[in-house]
A and B are shown apart, each in its own frame.
Chain A
C-alpha cells in the first residue's frame, strides 16, 4: 500500500517534535526472531494530532513505546524535542519523560486514593514544580468536571476519569502527548468527549498528540493517520474519515 502514500504533512526537521530514523526492533534470536519494527522512519511536527493504526502485532504499540522512551530500539534513532534518546540512562530518560512527554493510558491509571485535582497535579508534584494556576484553571474548565474535581476516581465515570488523565498529561505543557488506546476502555459517547478534549488540546492549546488506536472513529479526528503492518509503515495519510480508515484497514488484513 506504500504506493498511495500522500505527502507527509510537516516533515521539515525544524518544527518536528518527534523524529524517528530507521527504527528496528527485533525480539528473540534465530528462528524465533520477530521483527516488531523494520526500518521505520517518521517524524511528527508540532501541533499535529496523529493516529497510529494497524492490526495486532503490526508494531504500532512498539513504535509508540520506543518514541516515548519506554522501550529501546534494536537500532535507529529517536529525537524528542531535539534530544536523542539513544544512550540516555534510566535517570535521564525518566527526567525527559517527566519534562517533555505526557501520557494517556487505556486504563486511565489514576491513583485511587487521590482526588481528580490531585491526580492532575501528580506529575508536577513529583517533579517538585508548581503548576501555572491560570493554565490549570483552563484545563479544569476543559475537562468539564468542574465541581467533581474533589472526587476520587472511583466516584467518576470512565469518560470523566480519562478526561482527568488527559488533563494530567497536559498540565506540564509537554512537547508531546502519547495516547495508548485512550478510548479503548470507553463506550462511544464517552469516547467522543475524550476525543474532543484531545482535539481541543491540539487546536486551542497548540499541543502535539500521537495516539495508538484500534478505533476508526478515534482515528477519524486525527490530522494524520499512519498505518503499520509487519513492522513497516504501509500508509501515511492526512486526515481520513472513519469510512476511509475502515477501508484501509480491510486492505491491510
Chain B
C-alpha cells in the first residue's frame, strides 16, 4: 500500500505541494518561535554567566513578596560582615540603576524596549566589564562607557560629558571604555555606563543601599564553602546568600519570564492560528480528493483491498505530506527566527540573541504538530473513503455516500457553538487566574470558529444567490456560471471560506480590541484630566527628581502643579499600585469619578485614609469604612481605612493615599514622585506655557513634558506598533487560507475538465474562463471575509463588554472593516491567478475527451 501512496502523491504533485504549504507555514512559525526564544534564553544565560564569572558569592535582599519588575536593595553596610567571613578574599557592594550619558547634547539612551543601565563600578577582580581603553572609574565624577555607546556617540576617553540621573544632570568625565566579558556576548539593544558606587548612591537617592554584595573566595576555598561561611556570618533572615552560578541562573530565569516566555507564548498563539487554518485546508483538500477518487477506491475494494487499507492509503498520504512539510517548515523556521529578530531590532526592541539554536525539542514539537495535525485533519475524509462500496467502481459519476455524521452536522455544530460561547463567557467573567481565563477564551473562540465553519455550508447558497445578482450584472454569463459553481458544492466552498474567515476574524478582533485599549487611555485623558500639561519620567522606573515640582511651580502661567507618586505594594497577595497625591491640589487637576465619596473627602484625606479604585475594591472585597493592610517591598506595612471609591482603570488605577503616607513605604530614599499634573492659568497660551515648563526643566532630561494631545498621540503610536506586529503575524494565516482557495479551485477545475472543454468549444474565450474562475474565488473570499468580519466584531464586542469595567470600550472600526473586506476580495483575485491560468491553458480537445 505504501507504494500506492507514494505513486499517488507523485502523480498529484501540485495538489500535494499546495496541501503541504498549508501546514508548512504553521510549522515554520512554531519552529521559528522556538528557535528565536531559545536564542534569547541562551543569550540571557550567557549574559549573566559572564556577569557572575568572577564572583563566588552574591548577597541580596529577600523581598517580602515576589515582583520581578521592582528592584529591591539591601543595606550596603552588610559588606563589613561579609568581609569578616572566613575565606573571603574581597567583598564589595554593587548597585544597578537606570540612566544614560548625554554626549554633545545627544542622549545615548534606548527609547525602545531595551534598558539603559548605570552600574556601580566594582574592582576589576569582581567586575564583568574590562577596560579596553583607559580604566575603570574610581573617583567621584568619573565614568566608563560600554563599547556600544562609544561607537554610537564617538565619545573619547578624557572627554567631559553629562550623566542623566534621578537627581538631574551631572557633569562627569569619561575615564574608560569597557567591554562586557570577552566582547562576544550580545547585549541586545541595552546600553551601560559604569560609575563609582558613591555617585550612583547619591544621584539615585540610594544612600547606604546596594543591589548586591559581591564576594570572591581566597584560593583553595570553593564557592559552596564560601557561601556557607557568608551565610554563617549573616544571621539576618531577610538576606539571601547565593553562589555566583545560582545568581546567574536566577537572573536569567527572571528575565526569561519577563521577556522570553511572553514572546514565546504570544508567537506560539499566532502559530496556533496558522496551524488551525492549515488544518481546515488539509481537511478540505482531503475531502475533495477522496470524493474525486471514489471510483479508484471502489476499484481497490473490488480487487480485495480492505477498509483498513483504504484508510491507510489516505492517512498515509497525509502522514507523508505532513512529514515533508514539517521538515521544510523546521528549516524555514530558522529563517523566520532570524527575520523576527531583525524585526524586533527595527522597531526598537533589540533583543540579545546567540547564533541559531535548533534544539531537539524544537524539532520534536514541530514534527509532532505538523504531522499530527495533518493526519488528524485527514482522518474524517479517510473514514468516508472506507464507506465506499465496491459497486461504485462500476457506476459512472458515483459519489460518496452521505456519512452518518453529516446529517447530524447542524446539531453537532450548535452544541460546539454553545460550548464555545460558554468558554468565552467563562473566560471573560470568571475569577480564575489570567492564564486559564485566556485559554478558555481562546478555546471558546476556536470552537465558535469551528461551529461557524460547519454551519457555513447552509448559508452558501443564499449568500451566493444575493451575490450572483451584481456579479451577473458586471460579468454577464460567466458571472452567473461562477456563482453557480460556487454554490454547487456548498460544503467545499464553506470550508475554503472558513479558513479565510479565521484570519480575517482575528484581524478584525485585534483591531477592535487594540482600538478599545487605545480608546480607554485616550478617553480617560479626556474625561479625567483637568490639567493641561503632564510631566512624567522617561525610563527610570518612572521616578522624577525631587526638584522638578518646584521648578514647574515657579513657571509663570502655571496655576496648579499637583505631584503624584507611587510604589508597588501587596494586598492579600495582589500586587497593586499605591498612589500618593497632594490632597489640596489633586481635585484641581483630576476629576474623580466617584462611586462613594466626593472631592471633599480627598481634600480631607488624612494619614491612614485611602481611596480605592472600584475594580480593586471589588477584587479586594472592601467597602468604604473597611480597612486594607498594604505590604511594601521594603518590608514595611501600613493600614488604611477606605474613605471612598471611584472608577478609573487607566490613570489613577490603584489605592490613593496622601503623599506623606507613601514615604515610609518607598523602598529607597527616592522621591516617590512620578507625575506632575499641571493646570495653566485660564486664558494663557498653552504652547507658551508648555515651552516655559520645558525650559524650566532643561536641567532634568528625564522629565518628559506633554500636552494632553501629545499623550494621546504617544498612546496611539504605541498602539499602532502593536497593531502592525499583530497584522504581520496574522497575515501569515491569511496567506495560508489563500493557498486553501488556490487548492480548492485547482481541484474543482480538475474535476470539471470536460465541462471546461465544452464551455471553450461553445465559444467561451480564455479571458472569460479566467474571469469565471476569478469570480468563483472572489465569491468564496467574500463569504470568508464577511463571516470573518461578523465573528471578529462579535468577539471584539464580547471582549470589550466583558472588560468594560477595566476600561475597555467598544469602538466600531468602520474604515478598517471596509478595508478588510476590499482586501479579502483582492485576496480572492490573487488566489485565482494560478488556477485560472491552468484552466485557460487546457487544450479544448483534450479537455473534451477527458474522463
A contact set with B: CB distance below 8 Å: 65, 68, 70-71, 90-91, 94-95, 97-99, 101-103, 105, 107, 109, 111-114, 122-128, 168
Contacts and interface: CB of A to CB of B under 8 A. Distances in A.
Contacts of B478: 126
A113 B845 contact: no
B764 A109 contact: no
Contacts of A101: 763
Interface string B482-493: 001101100000
Contact of A126 (B755, B763, B845, B848): B763
Contact of A122 (B485, B488, B757, B762): B762
Given A70-B844, A107-B754, A126 B484 contact: no
Given A97-B761, A126-B768, A109 B476 contact: no
A126 B487 CA distance: 19
A113 B488 contact: yes
Interface in B743-764: 754-755, 757-764
A112 B487 CA distance: 12
A206 B765 CA distance: 28
A11 to B, nearest CB: 28
Query: Most A CB atoms within 10 A — which of B485, B487, B759, B848?
Result: B848
Given A71-B845, A90-B766, A125 B485 contact: no
B751 to A, nearest CB: 11
B481 interface: yes
B480 interface: yes
Given A109-B758, A111-B755, A125-B476, A91 B765 contact: yes
B477 interface: yes
Given A65-B845, A94-B763, A105 B758 contact: yes
Contact of A99 (B481, B484, B763): B763
B477 A125 contact: yes
A37 B480 CA distance: 40
Contacts, number: 71
Contact of A105 (B477, B487, B767, B848): B848
A95 B763 CA distance: 6
Contact of A125 (B480, B754, B758): B480
Contact of A127 (B477, B481, B488, B766): B477
A70 B760 CA distance: 9
Closest 6 CB pairs of A and B: A98-B763, A125-B477, A109-B758, A126-B477, A123-B762, A113-B484
A128 B477 contact: yes
Contacts of A122: 477, 481, 762
Query: Most A CB atoms within 10 A — which of B488, B759, B761, B767?
Result: B761
A95 B768 CA distance: 11
Nearest to A165: B758
A68 B481 CA distance: 24
Contacts of A125: 476-477, 480
Given A109-B755, A125-B477, 7 more contacts: A70-B761, A70-B845, A98-B765, A109-B754, A111-B481, A126-B759, A168-B762
Given A113-B485, A126-B477, A94 B764 contact: yes
B485 A126 contact: no
A126 B762 contact: yes
Contacts of A71: 845
Contact of A94 (B476, B757, B765): B765
A97 B845 contact: no
A104 to B, nearest CB: 11
Contacts of B768: 126
Nearest to B844: A70
Interface in B804-851: 844-845, 848
B763 A123 contact: yes
A90 B764 CA distance: 11
Contacts of A111: 481, 484, 755
B775 to A, nearest CB: 13
A98 to B, nearest CB: 2
Nearest to B476: A128
Nearest to A103: B761
A212 to B, nearest CB: 13
Contacts of A98: 762-765
A70 B844 CA distance: 7
Interface in B401-417: none
A7 B844 CA distance: 35
B772 to A, nearest CB: 9
Contacts of B844: 70
A113 to B, nearest CB: 4
B484 A114 contact: yes
Contacts of A107: 754
13 contacts: A70-B761, A94-B764, A94-B765, A98-B764, A101-B763, A103-B761, A105-B758, A111-B484, A122-B477, A122-B481, A124-B477, A126-B478, A128-B476
Contacts of B848: 70, 105, 109
Contacts of B766: 90-91, 94
Contacts of B757: 109
A208 to B, nearest CB: 17
Interface string B696-715: 00000000000000000000
B763 A127 contact: yes
Contacts of B845: 65, 70-71
A128 B765 CA distance: 12
A152 B187 CA distance: 71
Nearest to B767: A91
Contacts of A126: 476-478, 481, 759, 762-764, 768
A103 B484 contact: no
Contacts of A127: 477, 763
Contacts of A168: 762
B533 to A, nearest CB: 67
A223 to B, nearest CB: 25
Contacts of B762: 97-98, 102-103, 122-123, 126, 168
A98 B761 CA distance: 8
Contacts of B484: 111, 113-114
A103 B757 CA distance: 12
Contacts of B485: 113
A94 B758 contact: no
A227 B845 CA distance: 23
